[in-house]
Structures are given as C-alpha cells and as structure tokens.
C-alpha cells in the first residue's frame, strides 16, 4: 500500500537520537531548548514552547489566553478534531466556521458574517483557531483585522504548515496571531515521533505555557508566592500538566528541522507533478494563492460538484483496492457523534459538507517516487473514466 503520508528518517536523524540515548539526559536536558531556539529562529517568533503533541500545545494555548467555562471558541469544521477539542478541555463552548470552496481554509467572509451575528446576540468568541489546511496559510491579516474589531484572540493551528510562508513571511511568525501551534506527528512535515510546539511573541504567554507544561511548578523566585526556605524549594502555583517533550524527541526534531527547506521544496515538486498528471481529469485541484507558499502536507483533489456519495465512495474503494492509501481530510468535525450530541449536525456548514462528499487526499510525502505518482495518476484516471 502506498500510504497518504510517511516519515523519512535519515542516518543523521538516527545518530542525533542515539547521541541523546548515550547522554546524561533523556528529558529536561539541552536538546529540547535547542529545538525551541531553532524553531523560533526559523519561524521568526520570539518564543517557542516544545510539548508532547500539538493537542497539548492547543490546550496550553487556550489556557494561556484565559479560555474557560462560559467562553466560546470557534474553529473551522474542516480540521482534525483536536482544533475543537482544546476548547472543550477548558470547559468552553465550541462552534464552527464554514470553509472557502477554493482554498478549503476557514472562509473569512463566513467568519465576518458570523461575528456580526454573534455580536448582536452577545455571543462573541474569546478565541478563534484558523487552520492552515493542507499547508496553505490562511488570510491571516484579514482575520487579525477582525480580531481587532471584535476583540477575540487567535491561535493559528499550523499543524500542516511548518515551512509554509505568506508574502514571504514564515508560518509561525505570529505577526497576525497571539499563538501558533505546530504538530510533529510522523505524517506531518517534520516529526519527533509525537510532539508539538506553541510559538508566540508575547513573553507572558510563553511563560504561562511553560509553567503549565510542567505541573504549574516553578523554580523562578520572581514567580513564587513565599520566600524559599532552602535550596530544595520550588512552588506549584497553578494546576499544570506533564506535557513536556523529551530530549530524544527534540534531537530528532532538530535534525529534521535542519532539512526543512529541502522537505518543502520536494513536497512542492510532488504537488507540481500531480498538477501536470491530473490537469485533464474532471477534478478540482489544489489552488495555492500567489502570495502563499504551501507546505503541501496534503494534496487533496475534489471530484465534480454533482458527484454522488456512492461514486465518491467507489473511487475510494477502487484506489484502496489498487494499493493506494487515499484518505479523507476531513470528515467535518461538527458531524462527529461527540459534536452531534452537543447539537451540531447535517446542513449547518454546507461548503465543508459539500467538500467532504467529494474530496480525496492522494499520497504525498518525501520519498514518494515519480513512478509511484504516475501509478496513482493512472489508477485515478481509471477510477474516473
């Protein structure tokens, strides 16, 4: 089976991990801070907080922004469930915004309309989480302008988008958001096995996320409430978690990050090849806005508007039977049973639902050969004709 995504681990990655295994620290040593420094340098944000998953990073980001019971969080419905669940962890209400039918990102027009309605209803969100779907940056300056107008905070879920850029500025720079989150799960662009990070330009937010990442415990006397009574002294000043990234993971991430530019180039080359191979098929291909460079975490094609559910499913089954591990990114989050139980359902976000009835994620990863791409294209052609 050709999977839709796959990690590439080099000799250098293995050496970097082995070096940590032979060192004094498997966790809380020098590798995680070095990884954080490399992340902030590459992305152009002042602070990076490495954690054990993007899900944890989203949770810490919400807590740092003060999200809690009675508050509201909005995200796109075309995302992985974690972008919404972080709001629920904090006891907040979650709601969704429909997508742009061309980029498949959160629609800024739909966001604006929903904000206007929410304002008159007195139900404005405290936090909005746009997702750089498939690796294409959202229209972040426009979302930032709405944040100023309507008074919400922004967490960018850039789990798909490390290495992407917009108007020449790297994803994760946080110029148009309060916090940006990355995932380092093995199907993503850069991996640490499991892992994530939260970036910000705000020192107070970084400090709060760092504290909550490790039990809410501090050894920093400026944060303490009482005078230390000995050299053993530390204080737990909040209820935190163990969301730390190990040095084993960070060493892998640091080694992978050193190849980021080449990884993004290769993913763009694969996408360009698909564009050529598929251009005469009855498919909607990915559209990357001229001001954007996509990280191409995913390469999604959409079948034609009038495609029936049965026809969509038949193409999936045919491709899978031919050894091509196609996938659907995403079943809209509001259609998941957990969210249906909260009152969501069919027909609430029609663009995302229409998209999900036609979308197919084709294999894309560094190491996918031209031969394999040709096979994917030929098989898809057979399935459609």
Question: Could you give the 3-state DSSP secondary structure of residue 268?
Answer: helix
Phi-psi region of 44 (alpha: psi -120 to 50; beta: other; left: phi over 0): left
* 160 near ligand PLP (CB under 6 A): yes
Residue of 7, 40, 53, 292 that binds ligand PLP (CB under 6 A):
53
The verdict on 344 binding ligand PLP (CB under 6 A) reads no
Residue 243, C-beta contacts closer than 8 angstroms, at least 6 positions apart: 51, 52, 53, 56, 57, 59, 60, 212, 213, 214
CB of 282 to ligand PLP, least distance (A): 28
Nearest alpha carbon to residue 162 among 200, 136, 142: 136
Q: Among residues 4, 35, 80, 96, which is the contact residue for ligand PLP, using CB under 6 A?
A: 80
Which DSSP symbol is given to 106? B
Distance CA 199, CA 262 (A): 22
Which residue of 77, 78, 83, 255 would you call a contact of ligand PLP, by CB under 6 A?
Answer: 83
Q: Between residues 129 and 147, which has the closer beta carbon with respect to ligand PLP?
A: 129
The stretch near ligand PLP (CB under 6 A) out of 76-84, 220-228, 362-370, 374-382 is: 76-84
Q: Which is nearer to ligand PLP, 42 or 106 (CB)?
A: 106
Q: Does 75 bind ligand PLP (CB under 6 A)?
A: no
Does residue 79 interact with ligand PLP by CB under 6 A?
yes
Judge whether 35 and 28 are in contact, CB under 8 Å. Answer: no
Q: Is 185 in the site for ligand PLP (CB under 6 A)?
A: yes
- Of 51-59, 107-115, 299-307, 337-345, which part binds ligand PLP (CB under 6 A)? 51-59
CA nearest 49: which of 203, 190, 161? 203
Distance set, CA 80 to CA 38, 182, 214, 333 (Å): 26, 13, 25, 7
Contact residue for ligand PLP among 16, 54, 190, 245 (CB under 6 A): 54
Both ends of the chain: CA-CA distance in Å?
22
213 scored as a contact of ligand PLP (CB under 6 A): no
Q: Is 159 in the site for ligand PLP (CB under 6 A)?
A: yes
Q: Does 157 bind ligand PLP (CB under 6 A)?
A: yes
- Relative to beta strand 72-76, strand 127-129 is parallel
Q: Give the DSSP H/E element, type plus range, for residue 183.
A: strand 179-183
CB 222 to ligand PLP: min, Å: 32
Based on the shown chain and the rule CB under 6 A, indicate whether residue 270 belongs to the binding site for ligand PLP: no
Task: Kindly list the distances between the CA atom of residue 81 and the CA atoms of 256, 337, 379, in Å, as whole numbers in the listed order.
Answer: 26, 11, 31
Q: Please tell me the count of residues contacting ligand PLP according to CB under 6 A.
A: 14
Q: At closest approach, how far in Å is the CB of 260 from ligand PLP?
A: 17
Burial class (CB in 10 A: 0-12, 13-18, 19+), 175: middle
Q: Which is nearer to ligand PLP, 65 or 383 (CB)?
A: 65
Binding site for ligand PLP (CB under 6 A): 53-55, 79-80, 82-83, 131, 157, 159-160, 183, 185, 196
């Amino acid at each position: 089976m050709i999977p839709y995504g796959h990690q590439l681990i080099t000799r250098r990655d293995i050496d970097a991990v082995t070096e940590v295994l032979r060192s004094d620290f498997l966790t809380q040593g020098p590798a995680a801070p070095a990884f954080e420094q490399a992340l902030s340098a590459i992305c152009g944000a002042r602070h990076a907080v490495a954690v054990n998953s993007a899900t944890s990073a989203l949770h810490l980001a919400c807590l740092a922004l003060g999200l809690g019971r009675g508050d509201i969080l909005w995200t796109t419905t075309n995302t992985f469930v974690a972008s919404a669940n972080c709001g629920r962890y904090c006891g907040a209400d979650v709601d969704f915004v429909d997508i742009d039918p061309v980029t498949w990102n959160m629609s800024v027009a739909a966001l604006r309309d929903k904000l206007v309605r929410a304002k008159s209803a007195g139900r404005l969100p405290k936090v909005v989480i746009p997702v750089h779907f498939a690796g294409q940056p959202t229209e972040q300056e426009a979302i930032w302008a709405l944040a100023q107008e309507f008074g919400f905070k922004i967490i960018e879920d850039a789990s798909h988008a490390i290495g992407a850029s917009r108007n020449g500025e790297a994803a994760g720079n946080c110029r148009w958001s309060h916090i940006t989150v990355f995932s380092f799960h093995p199907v993503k662009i850069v991996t640490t096995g499991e892992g994530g990070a939260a970036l910000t330009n705000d020192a107070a937010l970084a400090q709060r996320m760092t504290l909550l990442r490790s039990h809410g415990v501090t050894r920093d006397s400026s944060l303490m409430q009482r005078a230390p009574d000995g050299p053993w002294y530390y204080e737990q000043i909040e209820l935190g978690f163990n969301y730390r990234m190990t040095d084993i993971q960070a060493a892998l991430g640091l080694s992978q990050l050193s190849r980021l530019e080449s990884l993004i180039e290769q993913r763009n080359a694969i996408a360009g090849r698909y564009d050529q191979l598929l251009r005469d098929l009855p498919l909607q291909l990915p559209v990357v806005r001229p001001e954007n460079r996509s990280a191409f975490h995913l390469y999604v094609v959409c079948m034609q508007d009038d495609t029936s559910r049965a026809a969509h499913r038949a193409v999936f089954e045919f491709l899978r039977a031919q050894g091509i591990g196609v996938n659907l990114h995403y079943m809209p989050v509001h259609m998941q049973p957990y969210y249906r139980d909260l009152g969501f359902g069919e027909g609430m976000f029609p663009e995302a639902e229409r998209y999900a009835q036609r979308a197919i994620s084709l294999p894309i990863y560094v190491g996918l050969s031209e031969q394999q791409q040709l096979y994917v294209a030929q098989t898809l052609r057979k399935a459609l004709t």
